[in-house]
Amino acid sequence: MTASHTAYFRQHSPTRFEATQATAGAWNTAEQHIAPVIGLLAHLIEQDHGGRGGRLRLASLSCDILGVLPIGEFDVEVTVLRPGRTIELVEAVLTSNGRTGVRARAWMLQTADTSAIEGTSFPEMPDIEATPAFPFGETWNGACVKTIEARREYVCPGRARSWIRTSTPLIDGVETSTQARMIGMLDFANGMVPRADPSEVGFPNVDLNVSLFRAPSGSWLGLDSTVSFGSDAIGQTESVVHDEHGPVGTLTQTLTIRL
């Protein structure tokens, strides 16, 4: 069963937010899980662009995680680094207690009808209903993972195909796009198929990079994930990202391994 929460965040002003206990992290329950934060930053980038009359779509998002985030209030500033009518680069910077915690950069690209040539060779995911339920909230600590309903087809250590969804909104009383909500679940990929027991080995990610060639739809997020550990304490989680209709993009997370 998944836990029910009003939202991951409350908004106090256009730039100030408060993380609720629904964000409590998997590595440390006194800190925020980074997944909802990344969704929030995607939402604010989209909101800023739309507020300026823009019609571009967020096509890629690169997030550097500069430190842990305590549960509480924080600020976000959105800046246009490269304005344009067809291509735009936007940055969102999260500051908590006077310290930068996350820096996210998004490429916003123009859209047009290319349905005549669309296609991909990424392999398909298993059917959602045929994928076994996975007790994600029992595998990790913290309230945040308990907000996730998960299904997983286990392949081998560090390799699985998973479906996840949540009924917890990003921001209390604020409507967000399907894409921002989906982006807010991407960081769970690293925890869906651990290569090592997380009670014995730490492997948090220091970044998250996603590229979306199609805007996702529906409520389920599919993750075809492979976790790799190197011999010198650096690892990587790589996923093909799906919605209920097929592949939508790719995701990478760089891991720092702590024995």
DSSP structure string for 96-122: ETTEEEEEEEEEEE-----TTT----P
**What does the alpha-carbon distance between residue 252 and residue 64 come to, in Å, rounded to a whole number?**
12
Residue 232, in any domain of the structure: yes
Residue 3, in any domain of the structure: no
Residue 116, in any domain of the structure: no
The pLDDT > 90 percentage for the chain reads 97
Residue 101, in any domain of the structure: yes
For CA atoms 40, 46, 49, 50, give the dihedral sign. negative
Mean pLDDT of the region 53-71: 97
Q: Supply the Cα-derived Rg of the chain in whole angstroms.
A: 17
Residues 141-155 pLDDT 10s: 999 999 999 999 999
Q: pTM for this one? A: 0.96
What pLDDT score does 3 carry?
Answer: 55
| CATH of residue 85 | 2.40.160.210
Supply the range of the domain harboring residue 92: 9-111+127-256
Residues 99-115 pLDDT 10s: 999 999 999 999 999 99
Cα torsion through 84, 216, 245, 139, rounded to 10 = 140
What pLDDT score does 20 carry?
Answer: 97
Average per-residue pLDDT for the chain: 96
What pLDDT score does 233 carry?
Answer: 98
The total domain count for the chain is 1
Residues 184-230 pLDDT 10s: 999 999 999 999 999 999 999 999 999 999 999 999 999 999 999 99
Residue 40, in any domain of the structure: yes
Residue 120, in any domain of the structure: no
Does residue 5 register a pLDDT over 80?
Answer: no
Residue 221, in any domain of the structure: yes
What pLDDT score does 6 carry?
Answer: 87
Across 83-206, the runs of DSSP E, i.e. the strands, are 87-96, 99-109, 133-134, 148-156, 159-166
**The residue to which tokens 């779509």 are assigned:** 57
Residues near 248 by Cβ (< 8 Å), separated by ≥ 6? 212, 213, 214, 215, 216, 241, 242
For the chain, give the number of residues: 259
Three-state DSSP at 169 gives coil
pLDDT band at 4 (very low <50, low <70, confident <90, very high): low
What pLDDT score does 1 carry?
Answer: 46
**What does the alpha-carbon distance between residue 157 and residue 26 come to, in Å, rounded to a whole number?**
20
**What does the alpha-carbon distance between residue 183 and residue 170 come to, in Å, rounded to a whole number?**
11
